[in-house]
Amino acid sequence: MIKVDVNEITVTVKGREVTLSEKELVSILEQHFKILNVVKGVEVNPITIDESIFEMGEKGYYSHEEYIMQLIQKAFIEMKKDLRRYARPFEIVTPAELEPVYTEEKMVALAEQYGDHLADWVEQALEFAQKIANGEDIFNKSDDSKWFRAISWQDGHVCLVGGSEEFNNHDCASAIHEFHVNSFYQLHNAVPAIVRYK
């Protein structure tokens, strides 16, 4: 039951009457319907990517580019093992604003609240593959992202990807910072990489 007076609204919630001012009600509704302002990513369609462009010959040395190409090849193998999860189109988005502190748990929770889940290493590698297939340079150009992006790494913990203009880090978009973040570590310079299926 809802009663509306000039300055307040009374609502029956679970058998109890609650009276709210218009300002309180608006605040509750804004919080409930909060929409995350995001930075859009590239649309990834793993099935359409030509895998052959990621084959590398023997170089005699181990470069960052070769490491990422091998990671992409491993991601395609994982995709074929789990087509239901990885073979459908998706996009990785990030929050446009940085909260003061994120923990691993907070990153995972935000990703599930505003998308499907926190991107894992396979999805990140497939995004790298899509960008390369689209002609984007993810190796030599400084990442223009405001903050590092947090993904779930192969060990299940969060690791950071890319660079951060805000923190004057000019790493390339494919840089992977493999230090292992546990659930208690607080990240001050990263946002969650959120997967949204198309």
Per-residue pLDDT of the chain (198 residues; tens, 9 = 90+): 677 777 788 888 778 888 888 888 777 776 666 667 888 899 999 999 999 999 876 665 578 999 999 999 999 999 999 999 999 999 999 998 877 677 888 888 989 988 999 999 999 999 999 999 999 999 999 999 999 999 999 988 888 999 999 889 999 999 998 776 666 677 878 899 999 998
Cα 47 from Cα 109, distance rounded (Å): 28
The predicted pLDDT at position 189 comes to 84
- C-alpha dist (Å) from residue 167 to 42, 140, 149, 171: 23, 19, 13, 11
Q: How many domains does the chain have?
A: 2
How long is the chain? 198
Are residues 66 and 23 located together in one domain of the fold?
A: no
pTM > 0.85:
no
Same structural domain, 64 and 18: no
Gap between the Cα atoms of 36 and 2, Å rounded:
29
Do both 100 and 169 map to the same domain? yes
Which residue type sits at 97? E
Of 163, 195, 196, 156, nearest in space to 177 by CA: 163
pLDDT given for residue 53 in this prediction? 92
Q: Which residue has the tokens 């198309």?
A: 198
Range of the domain at 22: 2-32
> Do 47 and 28 share a structural domain?
no
